[in-house]
């Protein structure tokens, strides 16, 4: 099980990840734009096509930060950080998702995603935002 911070930005994600890569002497391992999503996944506004859907930055002693531009959900300062929990076993990932959801609010149901594995989003009863994914 791995826990990573996931930061969302208001259209300037690429600038932010380059800044953090420089400051932390890190390496951008992956950067996927919204226009790289399969066309049948969901409709993407033209203004988002060149924005960052998902990116990873590795630095230091095995640290990883995750990044994206907010996309269709919109950007809200103060709620733009999530805890991203990656659990290899699908059954365990779903169990953890459902446990965190108790008394909270589901943002995206835990289910199959185009990049592989399963994924879901929620806000727990303490107001902490979570992204839970199984192996992908």
Domain ranges of the chain: 1-75, 90-136
* Residue 136 per-residue DSSP state: -
> Cα(133)–Cα(136) distance, rounded to whole angstroms?
8
> Cα(58)–Cα(103) distance, rounded to whole angstroms?
34
Q: Where is pLDDT greater, at 41 or 109?
A: 109
Bridge partners, 106 (sequence order): 122
Bridge partners, 33 (sequence order): 52
Secondary structure element (H or E) that encloses residue 133, with its range: strand 129-134
pLDDT > 80? residue 34 = yes
pLDDT > 80? residue 51 = yes
> Cα(101)–Cα(71) distance, rounded to whole angstroms?
23
pLDDT > 80? residue 82 = yes
CATH architecture assigned to 1-75:
Roll (3.10)
Question: What's residue 55's pLDDT?
Answer: 97
Question: What's residue 72's pLDDT?
Answer: 66
- What pTM, to 2 d.p., does this model score? 0.75
Average pLDDT of the chain is 90
Neighbouring residues of 114: CB distance < 8 A, sequence distance ≥ 6: 37, 38, 41
pLDDT > 80? residue 61 = yes
pLDDT > 80? residue 75 = no
């Amino acid at each position: 099980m791995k826990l990573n911070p996931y930061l969302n930005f208001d259209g300037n994600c690429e600038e932010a990840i380059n800044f953090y890569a420089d400051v932390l002497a890190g390496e951008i391992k992956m950067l996927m734009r919204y226009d790289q999503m399969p066309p049948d996944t969901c409709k993407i506004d033209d203004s988002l096509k060149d924005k960052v859907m998902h990116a990873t930055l590795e630095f230091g002693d095995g640290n990883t930060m995750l990044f994206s531009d907010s996309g269709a959900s919109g950007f809200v300062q103060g709620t733009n950080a999530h805890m991203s929990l990656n659990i290899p076993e699908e059954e365990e990932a779903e169990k953890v998702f459902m446990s965190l959801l108790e008394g909270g609010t589901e943002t995206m149901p835990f289910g199959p995603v185009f990049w592989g594995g399963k994924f879901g989003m929620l806000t727990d009863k303490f107001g902490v935002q979570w992204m839970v994914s199984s192996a992908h």
